[in-house]
Amino acid sequence: MWISGKRPNPVKLVLLITSISFWWYCNNIVASVLVGIALFEAFHDVQYLSLVWIYNRKRVETDSSIGGFMRFVFRRSGALVGLYIGLIFAYGALGYFKSNIGIDTVKRVLTGVVTASVLLHFYYDGFIWKVREKSTRQSLGIGGGTADVSTSGFLSSWAVHGAKWVAVFVIRLGALWFWQVRAPRSKLQRLAWIVADLPVGARQHSNYAKALQEAGRLDEAAEEFSTALRFNPNSAKAHANLATVLIGKGDLEEAQTHFEAALRIDPNNAEVHSGYAYLLERLGRLEQAAAESATAVRLDPKSASRTVCPSVADWTMPPTNSKNCVARTIV
């Protein structure tokens, strides 16, 4: 532009300089990376939403076909600027309400609304930046540009656009969904893929371990439960599940360690007390087993009574009855 003798727009120069300078400040001066990202995102949002206001206000002024809510909001009025800012804050508050509402249905609806709006934002955003088209340049207050895409022809523009989306996204995503959901893959295989793709975290390792346990692969299940405990050592459920696997492997002393850890974390869990009672019976410590059994029944009579072995409920009975007792998996 300097070579052709045209002066750059001073507003654009200020915008360019301030954006680069603030980006440098957020990345090099701000000590916290997260705070720096948040600051620059807020800076970007102010710029972007200002541009959206200017763009839509010019559209309303130049295009008589725009009506309804768009024409009402995007007018030259200080009060409407306040309404626009209020709508922005109301939308931002959806994330806060989503995380604090206890009703699952409402939470799922809000999650869907936020997710859909974010995806639509990136989709519609592409049209604003088609500055080669004359109508877009006019709405941005820029002269020149090429003619808009013609809407006449064998197919309307929306049909052609929709066909492109079907070819590029819908068919491919549909094939991916069918392969992942409908293809003959076992639950165990899918959980193994999840652990391979997301190795950091306790939940996926616990889920995979339970599936391995159900499949009778106790050595691998014990390893996965141990991995889950490395990520979350304060999980009573993981300790109890690992103890159950160790009982199946015959490692009773190690199982006792994990049952005791589970009870330290969650002393009011009837199922853990009941499982520990079974283990103590296996170890021949019938008096302690009876005490744990009584605690389990006291905490939850229904669930505990179903898991207690006859010789634990009345430890004076012959211990041979215990061979027919099967430990209930702690889930």
Question: Tens digits of per-residue pLDDT, 48-60?
Answer: 888 888 888 888 8
At residue 125's C-alpha, the angle toward residues 120 and 130, to 5°, is 140
pLDDT value at position 146?
Answer: 54
Question: Tens digits of per-residue pLDDT, 19-46?
Answer: 899 989 988 888 888 888 889 888 888 8
Quick check: 207 pLDDT over 90?
yes
Annotation: CATH topology of 187-324: 1.25.40
pTM (whole model) above 0.75: no
Phi, psi (rounded to 5 degrees) for 146: -90, 170
Q: Pinpoint the residues of the chain covered by CATH 1.25.40.10.
A: 187-324
> Which residues lie below 8 Å from residue 243, measured CB to CB, with a gap of 6+?
255, 256, 257, 258, 259, 262, 275, 276, 279, 330
| Confidence class for position 174, pLDDT limits 50, 70, 90 | confident
Round the average pLDDT of the chain to a whole number and report it. 78
Quick check: 5 pLDDT over 50?
yes
| Confidence class for position 137, pLDDT limits 50, 70, 90 | low
> Cβ distance 228 to 238 under 8 Å?
yes
